[in-house]
Structure 1
């Protein structure tokens, strides 16, 4: 996923520096200057200058043996203020405390902003082949969290997002037809929760319900992710879906009450 720079000229240098840090979001290896340059659509010379500045500031490290770059632990400090002050986290964490053992999978708190999903909190009781950590990007179309959030957006916006997104058949169960995807999202709104079964991972089912702010706009979701063998039965999915919906509704209520105080 490339990083887009649609910003005013007076903030371009800052945007480019942040774009370099974001360039590593979906990679699990150090990146060369060419890879970073292609990812952020900036010239090689400018990318080299930005990377060297970030090395000097301590946000990137450079492997001198292959001239590849990777983020340092200092990048985590960029999120400290968010974790300290986020109304969503402050409202959600008390609700999530102590519920994980009864949910038969991972319970995740997903944030939503500018059509991007970000993992904010996870239990990791069920491993999906790679370790989920806060800050990881999530797929908007092929996660239950994404579809639960989309179910609260205007229909025309949802259709635009579906047609502009890359619809990849991750498995034989992946839904790629726009009309069918729209039907799944509409059903999520009727149910109060979304279910995605073996679409992104052949062994996984996810169930999610959206979190709304005081303007009834989606700002996140609670998502349960577990093994298909445990979550294959429709009645169990419905029961867990109602539980997830109850948690997300409680968080939404807390957010609305906090905005009034």
Structure 2
């Protein structure tokens, strides 16, 4: 079960364990596990079968889960939980026009994400074409250690906190170019802090390059990251730095006054 990211500890009387377990059950479903039996959910969450059964039946009663009596699956109503975040924060609405401007001017896909533990979560996207083997959309998650936006967001943390997050990551090699060594990654983050951007060349996926910049609020805090991804066979690293990066920096600056934080 996922540990709380911040705030109260699991042994605090205010911590609602049943709610945490229910969320773990929801998060067990993904692209490779669209439909599961009770036993499969229990295995995926490392929770007792009785606990999983109560969570699934409760979610079913609320309309978030459907079942044929054996297999369980999420229903479209689950999207309302994600929409609640998008509707309650102005960030996605503020960023979307900027992403679309970047995409139009560079003719490449542009995305924005925030950091959630060792992963980045996409909060806005303007796509021109599918260039990755895995389709991306708002809500998609990718590892932070080997992505340009992830490195920008990790660089915004204190070095001690960044090292802690990286140490907790499953830093597997996504491609032959992926940097996985902790100390090497910390040196890369130092460079990102100094230069104000991150360029990742075929580390997440062979044939994919990306460059990212921080999105800073009017109060000077890094709220998110914005990137452009392109096919390595079509766009060189020099082109990303000399043609794409200035557009990203310009649009990141244009939204600063609209973001409070």
TM-score category, normalised to shorter length = 0.7 to 0.9
Could you list the per-position Cα deviations for residues 171-200 of structure 1 after superposition, in whole angstroms to 9, with x for gaps in the alignment? Answer: 111111122212222222222111111112
- Tell me the distance in 1 between the aligned counterparts of 2:231 and 2:89: 31
Aligned to 2:220: 216
Aligned to 2:98: 95
- Tell me the distance in 1 between the aligned counterparts of 2:144 and 2:160: 16
Aligned to 1:4: 3
- Tell me the distance in 2 between the aligned counterparts of 1:242 and 1:190: 17
Query: Could you tell me whether the CA contact under 8 Å between 1:211 and 1:218 is conserved in 2?
Result: yes
Aligned to 2:74: 71
- Tell me the distance in 2 between the aligned counterparts of 1:25 and 1:253: 37
After TM superposition, the score normalised by the length of structure 2 is 0.87
- Tell me the distance in 1 between the aligned counterparts of 2:191 and 2:138: 29
- Tell me the distance in 2 between the aligned counterparts of 1:112 and 1:161: 10
Aligned to 2:53: 48
State the shift of 1:209 in Å.
1.0
Which one of 231, 249, 255 corresponds to residue 251 of structure 1? 255
Aligned to 1:24: 29
State the shift of 1:26 in Å.
5.8
- Tell me the distance in 1 between the aligned counterparts of 2:30 and 2:76: 14
Could you list the per-position Cα deviations for residues 50-86 of structure 1 after superposition, in whole angstroms to 9, with x for gaps in the alignment? Answer: 112111211012244xx23221100111122322231
Within a 5 Å distance, the mapping from 1:1-261 to structure 2 comes to 3-4=2-3, 7=10, 8=12, 10-25=15-30, 27-64=32-69, 67-114=70-117, 116-127=119-130, 128-256=132-260
In structure 2, stretches of 5+ residues that fail to align are none
Q: How many equivalent residue pairs?
A: 254
Query: Could you tell me whether the CA contact under 8 Å between 2:144 and 2:151 is conserved in 1?
Result: yes
More displaced, 193-202 or 89-98? 89-98
Secondary structure at the counterpart of residue 167 of structure 1: coil
Could you list the per-position Cα deviations for residues 199-219 of structure 1 after superposition, in whole angstroms to 9, with x for gaps in the alignment? Answer: 121011111112233553333
Query: Could you tell me whether the CA contact under 8 Å between 1:25 and 1:137 is conserved in 2?
Result: no
Q: 1:124 to 1:138 in 2, by over 3 A?
A: same
- Tell me the distance in 1 between the aligned counterparts of 2:33 and 2:109: 22
After TM superposition, the score normalised by the length of structure 1 is 0.87
- Tell me the distance in 2 between the aligned counterparts of 1:36 and 1:27: 13
- Tell me the distance in 2 between the aligned counterparts of 1:154 and 1:91: 27
Secondary structure at the counterpart of residue 210 of structure 2: strand
- Tell me the distance in 1 between the aligned counterparts of 2:199 and 2:213: 9
